[in-house]
């Protein structure tokens, strides 16, 4: 029987939020070029685009760590039942 779903780790939610915010920056940066407004964007807008990969790395790392923690807990539960 599957265990009850727990709330996602705060780092996972933060990573997801940073990723979405970074995608908004990417859209704001790229869309004007698609519609013919090909002029340079400010540096802060270009640096904001870096939030997407940073958020992705944070979210994936948090998900892997949470998965490993759940796996260790399940392993301990199985071992305790076998002993």
Q: How many domains are contained in the chain?
A: 1
Distances (CA, A) of 23 to 53, 55, 62, 63: 9, 10, 19, 20
Classify residue 6: in a domain, yes or no.
no
Classify residue 17: in a domain, yes or no.
yes
Instruction: Give residue-wise pLDDT tens across range 12-65.
Output: 999 999 999 999 999 999 888 888 877 888 999 999 999 999 999 999 999 999
Q: Which domain holds residue 49?
A: 11-82
pTM: 0.79
Classify residue 3: in a domain, yes or no.
no
Classify residue 56: in a domain, yes or no.
yes
Helix (H, G, I), strand (E, B) or coil at 65: helix
Classify residue 2: in a domain, yes or no.
no
């Amino acid at each position: 029987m599957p265990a009850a779903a727990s709330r996602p780790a705060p780092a996972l939610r933060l990573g997801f939020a940073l990723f979405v915010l970074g995608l908004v920056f990417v859209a704001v940066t790229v869309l004007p070029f698609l519609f013919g407004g090909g002029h340079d964007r400010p540096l802060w807008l270009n640096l904001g685009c870096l939030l997407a990969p940073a958020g992705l790395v944070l979210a994936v790392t948090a998900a892997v760590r949470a998965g490993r923690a759940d796996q260790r807990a399940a392993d301990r539960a199985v071992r305790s039942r076998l002993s």
